[in-house]
Amino acid sequence: MSYDFDLFVIGGGSGGIATARRAAEYGAKVGLAEFDRLGGTCVNRGCIPKKLMVYTSHFPSVLEESQGYGWSPVKSTLDWPKMVAAVNGEVDRLNGIYQRMLDKSNVQVYRTYGKLLDPHTVEVGDTKVTADKILIAVGGYPVKPDIPGKEHLVISDAMFDLSEQPKRVVIWGGGYIGVEFACIMHGLGSDVIQIIRRDKILKGFDEDIRSTIQESMEKHGIRILKNCTISGVEKTSQGLKISLEGDSNNDMVLADTIGLAATGRIPNLENLGLENTGVELQNGAIAVDKYSQTAEPNIYAVGDCTDRINLTPVAINEGRAFADTEFGGKSRLMSHENVPSAVFSNPEAATVGLTEAEAKKEYGEDAIKVYRSKFRPMYYVLPNKDEKTLMKLIVHQESDRVLGAHMVGDHAAEIIQGVAIAVKMGAKKSDFDATVGIHPSSAEEFVTMR
């Protein structure tokens, strides 16, 4: 049968675009549907604008710390509209780059929704197209819990378009999005209260990472209300009245016009037409095999809509592995083991491999040896600030293999990215020990721990 396209991609985020371009490189005729801005969550409402705001939030402490090195005090204020315009300007620039890349790859872009009508037919706006293979890469979106007054809460997307800086911010959620925005807004000068359902932030991360970041956040002045949740929100003349339930000693807290709900994301599957195909769902996400293939043989899915590891580089790698296999004659799998990740909090954290708890559960407590180091980096000595860096290695004693590496501290993501290569290759603790450290640096601690 003749089709309009060899591959049609529904979703123009990082995973969808990477797949479309890779398949086109192999000579496939590719179409792509995206109703919103190109680049998806990461470029438009996530990684990129958020990291730029992280950088912005660090300057007050840098100016203060410079005095320890002999610089005179600097009085500086944040021009909020200028920052927002600069961040959004960079997002606009990246959108243009994505469009040019797709044009150069001869990918036909439909700036509208894509809906499956059957396993080989996609409705795009007022027309229908057919494709031999279809890739779903529609990502996910943040959701707000169903409580009274939820309309007064915003999702993380809105944080990049605030016209003015809120003085009092309440953030609901202890995951990495909530933690990152709590640190960003505090660094920018807002009073921040973070409300978490448990006694610690960052569920799923290594316990030392969770404790170290939480202690530092509280020391810096972020108020974390533990073991409680929001039961309702009311807009008053004094701001948002946010009612709490749980262990908190406060029956309610006040925010300005901003209460951020960072309580989770779900796959963006509404009106996708999955019911017109044999695609199956599992726990609200598209079920796929190790090749990203759904129960409908010619339909594949990558990225957050499959709810495997919801990270941009993972979606890109999953998509490229699919394109290499199906169009390039290079069968390969995307490995979901030892995928590094970071939390751009203050202090920053990064991790790869198993946590201490995961390693002990898998191999037994006696089979695991933990190497841990906590110290004040040289940078903070002259400013006389009590900032700590944590580094940790999880080692399987019998094989000497490093099962996990974790860090909290300045440039953690940059450092762990290199360490992740070693962990991915199956490096042993003796390999770390045999590596000469770069002195003086914090990173050398990973090869000197005993």
Compute the chain's Rg from CA coordinates: 24
Q: What does the pLDDT read at residue 254?
A: 86
Catalytic residue among 120, 152, 411, 439: 439
Q: Where in the chain is the domain with CATH 3.50.50.60?
A: 5-141+266-327, 150-263
List the beta strands (DSSP E) in 40-190.
108-110, 114-118, 121-124, 127-136, 140-142, 168-172
Q: Where in the chain is the domain with CATH 3.30.390.30?
A: 347-447
The answer to whether the beta carbons of residues 389 and 408 sit under 8 Å apart is yes
Per CATH, the architecture of 347-447 is what? 2-Layer Sandwich (3.30)
Mean predicted confidence (pLDDT) in 411-439: 98
pTM equals 0.96
The enclosing H or E element of 100 equals helix 80-104
Helix (H, G, I), strand (E, B) or coil at 129: strand
Per CATH, the architecture of 5-141+266-327 is what? 3-Layer(bba) Sandwich (3.50)
pLDDT digits (tens, 9 = 90+) for 223-246: 999 999 999 999 999 899 999 999
Mean predicted confidence (pLDDT) in 156-166: 92
Q: CB-based contacts of 5: which residues, under 8 Å, 6+ apart?
A: 28, 29, 30, 31, 108, 129, 130, 131, 132
What CATH number was assigned to the domain covering residues 150-263? 3.50.50.60
Query: Does residue 396 have an active-site annotation?
Result: no
Closest CA to 186 of 78, 263, 341: 78
Mean predicted confidence (pLDDT) in 148-165: 93
Q: Mean pLDDT in the chain?
A: 96
Percent residues over pLDDT 70 in the chain: 100
CA distance 171 to 260: 5
Closest CA to 145 of 109, 111, 122, 172: 172
Q: CB-based contacts of 423: which residues, under 8 Å, 6+ apart?
A: 338, 352, 353, 402, 403, 404, 405
* Tokens of residue 423, six digits: 């962990």
Q: What does the pLDDT read at residue 256?
A: 85
What does the chain come to in residues?
450
pLDDT digits (tens, 9 = 90+) for 66-104: 999 999 999 999 999 999 999 999 999 999 999 999 999
Burial class (CB in 10 A: 0-12, 13-18, 19+), 388: middle
243 phi/psi in degrees, rounded to 5: -85, 140
